[in-house]
Structure 1
Amino acid sequence: MTGAIGAAVQVIVVAVGSPLLVGVMRQVRARLEGRAGAGIWQPWRDLRKLMRKEPITPHGTGWVFRAAPLLLAGTALVVAAVVPLVTTASPLDGVADLFAVTALLALGSVALALGGLDTGTAFGGMGASREMTVLALVEPTILVSVFALSIRVGSTSLGAIVTATVEDPLAVISPASVLAAVALVIVTIAETGRIPVDNPSTHLELTMIHEAMVLEYAGPDLALIEWASAMRLSVLLGLLASLFFPLGIATAGTGMLALLLSVIVLVLKVAVLGVLLALGEVFMAKLRLFRVPELLAGSFLLALLAVAASFFLA
């Protein structure tokens, strides 16, 4: 029962807290840039405003355009339910496999790219092409880097990997874990469209990737996309914290008090990672588009080195 409650709490925390995380990151950037900022609640105000608007569908688009926001938000919610963020004793732990979670993330990205292509506009096709280029390098890196962590556990279940780390915290202090952590940090930035890979606050046609695919969306559809993007950011940061710093995460046999403590610790860890990411964005410049594959190829090489280190140093 505690595991089922933990899975439900994960979804609620991610769904409610993700826009707040984006608001915190924007506020940190604003303060460092000498601006007052709109406040951490502004993303929720934006979502409320968008939900009240009339949905508009461009002429010539089909069901792919309309289904993309729903599929993106649905996959984000499913991943939030199965990934071990609050507890490792979830009844959904059996489906929290590395390959299944990566496939769900890829499915959401592909759905949004198809929605951009369905508009028939130059910006939609350009953004979809760039998104698929990034996706082709990001998803294999996620698989390989987490696979490096699964070698010592003997399972690709994310719950089993996190449980093994909870039982042996010093296992993360190894060359394989360090290489995998660096690779995952890079692909998390790329997957969520943050600087230096992409800039979520710009609409310059020469630089935008994610924003180019959503230019034709409006109203509730755009609200779903923005909400889902925030959830994906929260889930990936939470997964990063669970894999390499699972302090406070509830395990099998723990009670409700431990579950409550785990929720508080998760919020703090994700908030700290979000603030660090915002700090990095202030002091880094966006890479040229043609340099992005080089960065992602470097992260894939680090993931391969992590796998090699896991075999040779085991």
Structure 2
Amino acid sequence: MPIMLDNLPFGFTNDGERATLHVLKSPTVEVDVSDYGATVVGIRCLDKFSRMDDVISGFSGVHGYERHSKQIGSVVEHGCSEQNGRSSDNSIGKKIWKSETNGTRSVTFKYVRRDDEDGQKGNVNLFVKYKLQGSQLQVQHMATTDRDTTINMTNKLYFNLSGHTLWSDLKHHLVTLYSNSYIDSYGETRSVENTVFDLRKPTFLSNDRIVGIQPTQEKPNGRSFCLSPSEHKKLVARIKHVSNGRIVTIETSQPFVSLDCASDFDLVEGKNGVKYNRHSCVAVTPQNHPPCSEKIDAPQRVNLKAGDSFGHSTWYSFSHTL
């Protein structure tokens, strides 16, 4: 069965702009993406009982995304751990992007960030391409600029593999994070060995474990992990629901990743009337560099020179146990 593409209305913004939902479909996975913020709105996949359900948080129309400051599923350009996925009304995650479909296989969104927009230099062409092949979704972020500028693009997708029908906490989720080191609150690289951050073996996301991993005011960067600096595709994480068997495997070309278990969610009402509570979903977010303290010199975003291009990809593969 070929991959199908549907285009559906997604409401109007407060400024009267029309938002559109593009739906990519394969026999095993369906992905909803909107031109509002180039946002991943929904991902439906099968479990071991052949039940299809939506496994990421989001909203049923554009007004839900306008109301909330958190950039749930949309493109995040700033240091996403530092910002915790929040955005201003002027951020690229709150804009209508131009869309272009490539047959039924992919959707590409484009937004031109003008010079001095949101305090950034240069006229920057931003591109996000969503491509569904079988059970794998590839998200490709690209950019070019006419002036030296800085950029860091990613999407923050909050998963709960229970699905919206049975949405609950994360206690049935096993996470494996393939990282040997993390960034501490002083911007130093530390080994995960013998720490709460060692997730190299499958680990249940109990509330106690989440509280230990999540950043605090004293440890704002405790959830940022280091990957290989290579720009080649590499394994990042594997999340498994032990009851229904759903699995998402995440790979990326980015050198860092953040882990966020929605510690600041407070009964956010999302799709199908489901309320997203604290610790009810998890985001594993690849990025170029985690936000850091003044003691570390590495940039929070990519330095992009005029005439050069920025490009990274992340792959989400969906499967289930038998």
TM-score (normalizing by structure 2): 0.29
Higher normalized contact order (CA 8 Å, seq sep 6+, divided by chain length): 1
Which structure's residues are more often strand, by fraction? 2
Q: TM-score, normalised by structure 1?
A: 0.30
